[in-house]
Amino acid sequence: MPSSFDVIVIGAGAAGLMCALTAGYAGRRVLVLDHANKPGKKILMSGGGRCNFTNLATGPANFFSTNPHFCISALKRYRPEHFVELVERHGVEYVEKAPGQLFCAHSAKELLGVLLTECDWAGVTLRMNARVERLERHAEGMRLRTSHGILDAGAVVIATGGLSIPTMGATGFGYDIARQFGLRVTQTRPALVPFTLTSHWKARAADLAGVACDVAVGAVRGGQRLGPGRERRYREPMLFTHRGLSGPGMLQISSYWEPGDELEIDLLPDVDIAGALASARRATPRRQLSTWLGERLPRRLAQALGEWYGEDPTLAELSNSRIETWRVRLGAWRLRPAGTEGWRTAEVTLGGVDTEAISSQDFSVGGLSQLRFIGEVLDVTGELGGYNFQWAWASGVACGSAL
């Protein structure tokens, strides 16, 4: 006789655990299956081990999706304050590192502990090292052939996440199931991912590996600026690496960037570069440009800029047209990345299961309420800053409370 559950959740990550505990508290018999040896691995590795678990300013504008309205309902019903209340109830200390971005004060382990404790209290059964070989429609529900035998469920929730970091257990399982049941999967690509450079830019970045500075960055395609809001650029730190460019600003813009696009980087986003150079030329004509730059940029970068462009004039030597050349070099530095570091280091997947056929209320598949998709496996992807976990919690709760 197959074992039978009201709900089987596939994927013991953020969305799957949240959905499971919500359905468990609603009185459902819930089993969570995961092929990895431990649950919540991405929670543990996120935010540098401290998990940026939500963003107090979360709203639909923080998400990319073919259908930007899809996320609205779930995000409205389960808000950052609700998750903060859960965290506080368990006595987990947290800090607001940047405006709205909440991280565990000590370790992401505490946050995973909250979810596992809640699952336990809600009577959820968790089975790790479980392979799902087949999923098929069966009488009133679904039947799974797994490495733990045949399992029947009234409903199956796919919470297998995206493709990033395959070594942490990421697979395209959710997309395969979606296709099996006739759903479309939008094109996927790595996002929130560092850029790689080639030739002289790679060597120059490698020389500066470890140097960080605040920048404003946008992407440029066919002369068109791409980026968030009206400004179309992110104002966040950039980090030089041995392979290219990283840091929050670069991860953010990677969600807009496509192969062939350029990046436009403002190394001095708070400075009217032409005006400041012209007044410095009047006030301190004998100073070297590198000295002026060194007061505004990390010293190693200021020196490198002179080397890259083969000049370090005094300010008096800067004609108006040379000032304009430096304004562009510093304020609108354009370069074309060779690519990104790909799935190996990407934090998220852009694209996924098309939401067209999914209910934004309970996350069921149209015409087949026994099958549901939640979390990152869907074509809903957040910006950097805690939005992706908030989506996992919100979609998990919306689905779990409707099971």
Q: Which residues lie across from 153 on neighbouring strands? A: 5, 142
In the range 224-263, which residues lie near ligand FDA by CB under 6 A?
none
Under a CB-based contact definition with an 8 Å cutoff, are residues 71 and 63 in contact?
Answer: yes
- Count the helices and strands in the chain (H runs, E runs): 13, 23
Q: By Cβ distance, which residue is nearest to ligand FDA?
A: 13
CB closer to ligand FDA, 92 vs 348: 348
What residues have CB less than 8 Å from 32, skipping those under 6 apart?
A: 8, 9, 10, 11, 12, 16, 17, 20, 39, 119, 124, 125, 126, 127
Single-letter amino acid code for the residue at 23: A
Whichever of 331 and 351 has its CB closer to ligand FDA, that residue is 351
User: Among all chains, which residue has been given the structure tokens 């733990």?
Assistant: 148
Would you say 295 and 280 are in contact if contact means Cβ atoms under 8 Å apart? no
Q: How far is the CB of 346 from ligand FDA (least distance, A)?
A: 7
Classify 140 as helix, strand or coil. Answer: coil
If we measure between CA atoms, which residue out of 112, 158, 119 comes closest to residue 25? 119
71/403 Cα distance (integer angstroms): 19
Mention every residue, 6+ apart, whose C-beta is less than 8 A from residue 61: none
Closer residue to ligand FDA (CB): 81 or 272: 81
- Residue 355 as a binder of ligand FDA (CB under 6 A): the answer is no
| Residue from the set 24, 80, 141, 161 that interacts with ligand FDA by CB under 6 A | 161
| Long-range contacts of residues 86-93, Cβ cutoff 8 Å, at least 24 apart | 86/114, 86/118, 87/53, 87/111, 87/114, 90/114, 90/117
Task: Find the binding residues for ligand FDA in span 83-142 (CB under 6 A).
Answer: 132
Among 126, 142, 277, 348, binds ligand FDA (CB under 6 A): 348
How far apart, in whole angstroms, are the C-alpha atoms of residue 263 and residue 133?
A: 43
Residue 14 binds ligand FDA, judged by CB under 6 A: yes
Quick one: tokens of 137?
A: 């429609």
Q: Which of 24, 47, 141, 247 binds ligand FDA (CB under 6 A)?
A: 47
Bridging pattern class, strands 52-55 and 63-64:
unpaired
Per-residue mark of binding to ligand FDA, 299-338 (x: CB under 6 A): ----------------------------------------
Q: Which is nearer to ligand FDA, 265 or 358 (CB)?
A: 358
Judged by CB under 6 A, which of 74, 389, 398, 399 binds ligand FDA? Answer: 389
Options 87-95, 153-161, 240-248, 316-324: segment touching ligand FDA (CB under 6 A): 153-161
Question: Using CB under 6 A, which of the segments 44-52, 207-215, 316-324, 353-361 binds ligand FDA?
Answer: 44-52
Choose, by CB under 6 A, the member of 104, 159, 183, 245 that binds ligand FDA.
159
Q: Which tokens in the block code for residue 171? A: 């697979």
Instruction: Pick the piece of the chain touching ligand FDA (CB under 6 A) from 47-55, 177-185, 335-343, 361-369.
Output: 47-55
Asked whether position 34 contacts ligand FDA by CB under 6 A, the answer is yes
Smallest distance from ligand FDA to CB 144, Å: 10
User: Bridge-partner residues for 361, per DSSP?
Assistant: none
- Per-residue contact track with ligand FDA, 171 to 190, x per CB under 6 A? x-x-----------------
* 80 contacts ligand FDA (rule: CB under 6 A): no
Of the CA atoms within 13 Å of residue 58, those in its CB half-sphere come to 34
Q: Considering only the stretches 160-168, 248-256, 264-272, 297-305, report the one whose residues sit in contact with ligand FDA under the rule CB under 6 A.
A: 160-168
Interaction between residue 386 and ligand FDA (CB under 6 A):
yes
Using CB under 6 A, list all residues that contact ligand FDA: 10-16, 33-36, 41-42, 45-47, 51-52, 132, 159-161, 164-165, 169-171, 173, 347-348, 375-376, 386-389, 392
